[in-house]
Chains A and B, each alone.
Chain A
Amino acid sequence: MLLRSLKLHIIQCGFAPVVLQVSRTCSNMPLSDTHQSPDNAVSGKQVKSERKLVVPSNSRFIYPEFLPDPKMEWRNSLREKLERLDMIQRRKHIDIPEFYVGSILAVTSSNQHAPNKATRFVGICIQRLGCGLRANITLRNVIKHVGTEIKYQLYDPTIQKIEVLRLEKRLDDELLYLRDAPNEYSTFDENMEAEYLPEGTPVPVNTTLVKLKPRPWRARWERKNMKGLADLELEERFYKRAEELATPWEKYDLMKQYRRTIPEEEQKEIFAEVCSELHEVEVMRKKLKRKKVFVKPTRSS
């Protein structure tokens, strides 16, 4: 039996790192941590007793790719169902964590030309597109003063690992304007350490306002009604034209909205179908995470 003293890093609310020193504990014994164990024990029991799971109301934000394309001509219930099965199958092999546009991710994917056959790319998620097996994300970072973006298919079999380094949201659903922003807005350290959010805290919203470089831009951002942009400092005529082209009535077009969403009843059906499996995957991930934290060796001083 190995007796070791271990350090456990847990980041609590407010991102203040607290170091717990656990001495004389067996590595393969369950952790008697006061913060974590009750939660896990409860969730473990839930799976075993197979109690009817309540679909969490925020599923549609966490797993948006499980909702099918709302375009009616392309709907096909059988294809959608098969895709969901495949997605769950894939999620059992790699951990696709909860993340949002604005979160900082690290994706490790197979690369036969790399020396260790894998590349790790760290970047901010600027766009999340597609549904079903075609769901994809775009990561952006500035590497050696060059803005770099990589689009990853979430369910691509060559992806080995997806880590969330910082879980947060931004003010907008798309951060494509970072392309026209100075480099410091999208520069992230490649060796950045993952920040852990405690269980149950709401996802923090990063309210930084991005100050764009002067024109020309890749899009006319003054017309896009973006919330995360600082004052654009344009001439009056640009704002006038933007006002001319605005479509304020669109928010009243009830049927347009309807055709762009999946109705609540259908969403419930879909998530009820995948809920139990997703929950299992979640529990597994938590266990793995705990193990990883445990295994991390530190030099005793």
Chain B
Amino acid sequence: MPLVLARIDCRLVHGQVVEAWIPHVKANSLIIANDAIVANHILRSVMELAVPVEVKARFCRLDQVAEMLKEADVADERSILLVSNASDAIKAWKNGAGFNVLNIGNLHYEEGKSQITSSVFFATGDFEALQWFRSNGVSVCVKGTPFESGILFEAEK
């Protein structure tokens, strides 16, 4: 089982991922799929340093997700896939990231968004994406850390 967690988090790598999820799912590989980060070597280098030494970090564009997963699979690693928003998650899924549970950790507040939990706010597009995933057999679970009860939206199949 190469992909142990797929997560939407607007902050990508941060404390909840590093301190809570990595030990919880016993991951040793982190795949950060984000076009902007790949293009900006400053942000990318700093994010690399935020990943614990014993965990391998891979940065890729959204169209490279499948290759990265394969690479991690060959190396027999347990990976966490991180994307920063719902439309990126859809792209990653379409590009071959075969997850059937999607975790939503953090989505920042913005004008006009509706609050789902204390740290997750949905825009209209996010509701549509949620529905899209459910009708494609992916359950969506909103929770920041593994220890919260969270809100689960079951897949419709």
Chain B binds chain A: no
Name A's B-contacting residues (CB within 8 A): none
